[in-house]
Amino acid sequence: MDAHWDGYDYLVALSARVQHMRCVDRLLVDLPTAAIQIFKGVRADAPTDTDPALTAKRQDRAYRLADLSRCKVTGKIYSKTSNGDGDAMVGNRTLARRWTTAASTAGPNGGVHVECPPVPGEQVEVMRSLNGWVADNMLPLLAPVESSWQPHDFLPCSAPASGESEGEALAAFTEAVAKLREGVAGVPDEILVCLVGNMVTEEALPTYQTMGNRVEGGSDETGASSLPWAQWIRGWTAEENRHGDLLNRYLYLSGRVDMRQVETTVHHLLRNGMEMLVPNSPYHSMIYGAFQERATFISHGHTGRLAGQHGDKALAKICGAIAADERRHEAGYTRGSAKLFQVDPDGMVRALAYVMRGKVTMPGLLMSDGRDGGETLFERFSAVAECIGVYTARDYGDLVEHFVRRWRVAELTGLSGEGRRAQEYVCGLPPKIRRMAELAHQRAARSESRTLQFSWIFDRSVMLR
């Protein structure tokens, strides 16, 4: 009890305290200034252990706990780094800087450069050994190009048909656009906000392909590799590319949104990037992919249902087509994860627990329209999605329960001690998440209504009740 505490001990204690505070009150999204200074100061603290191996182990544990406490609720901490163009800033907040078990070095402007931790060699070998399995079980989920839908299939045609004059084509196009606008006229602003948020997320596809190609053992190393893992990444990207294209053109023709602000948001998001806990880990990436694809399936499906209820059958059809794609892609990542659970159950259950402790952060987390104030744009978008039922905390709980059941996590045997602890943690999550969601729902019901303003809809506000 009287042993001397060094910097790593204080970092562990600080991380635990911050994690506890955030579990008690999810509104505590920012570390206090003093805590940030302590955090940074600890990193410069010289280790006191005489055993280098013990020092490395304690440092690794401290950084892991720091990362998990940071990610537990918000998925971000804030540093004071800017590239001079303001892209390191999200309104008055700064972009997240990930503290991992990897080596970190200070940059010339005081920022932190973080490298990914090394991936265990056995994970890489497992992934490479599954190329044949991927060819038989995942690639068939990708639709042939010739039979795939294209954005043009859902939108007014601007080109003249065979034998049709330019004047006739223009008249037909104008009439079709008028019909599209008639359908979207009854869609409330809050649904449009969710539609734009979904579209912005889809339009950041280049970032997602980049992240996919960081996965060791499952990337497209040449850009045109014939290996099945590489074919999956390119095929998935090709199908996903249609989603942003279609929603972008629909929103442009609708006349209901400020397209320049929407495009500015996409621009910011692509420059800001995205965060994953261990993006080069094949196990983490497969799990993350399964969760994200199911989440987008739910989000697009609910958006389409709400649009249809307000009379926009065209938008309902569009969202349904996109949701169907997401469902197929979810099946691919879910199958891949299930196979990894068969091959390396201990490694996968530990990876799943790590991802769950860090929480599955959304790929659009760093979106910005350049006008962010108190709450980030993503937080406001998420609040609207929660309020109208596009994607809710209950949906997240359902996701966790679905995958725990689908991957038969409770039935895993032959696990290490750490694996068994991870199994117990993951299997106990669904009821905890449901309870937290219910408490949040009750708290929201007691709260007063508030308004949120969005530049996407010409600075109009939506009411959250």
Active-site hit among 67, 189, 190, 202: 202
Long-range contacts of 105-113 (CB under 8 A, 24+ apart): 107/81, 109/81, 109/82, 110/80, 110/81, 111/79, 111/81, 112/79, 112/81
Kindly name the residue from 240, 275, 312, 386 that is annotated as catalytic: 240
- The residue annotated as part of the active site, out of 87, 239, 258, 325, is 325
407 classed as catalytic:
no
Q: Please enumerate in sequence order all residues whose Cβ is within 8 A of that of 108, keeping only pairs 6 or more positions apart, or say none.
A: none
Closest residue by Cα to residue 423 from 436, 434, 412: 412
For the question of residue 293 being annotated catalytic, the response is yes
Q: Which residues pair with 452 in a beta bridge?
A: 462
Q: Is 168 a catalytic residue?
A: no
The residue annotated as part of the active site, out of 74, 101, 265, 296, is 296
Of 405, 462, 411, 400, the residue nearest 433 (C-alpha): 400
- Active-site residue among 189, 201, 229, 243? 243
- Catalytic residue status for 164: no
Q: Which of 275, 276, 272 is nearest to 264 (CA)?
A: 272
Q: From the candidates 220, 326, 372, 395, which is the catalytic residue?
A: 326
Q: What is the DSSP letter of 264?
A: H
Do residues 113 and 105 touch, judged by C-beta distance below 8 A? yes
Q: In the annotation, is 5 catalytic?
A: no
Q: Is 375 a catalytic residue?
A: no
Q: What is the DSSP string of 103-136?
A: -EEE-TTS-EEEPPPPPPHHHHHHHHHTHHHHHH
Helix (H/G/I), strand (E/B), else coil: 454: strand
Spell out the residues 6+ positions from residue 33 whose beta carbon is closer than 8 angstroms to its own: none
CB 93 within 8 A of CB 63: no
- Residue 236 falls in the annotated catalytic set: no
Report, as residue numbers or ranges, the catalytic residues.
149, 202, 240, 243, 293, 296, 325-326, 329
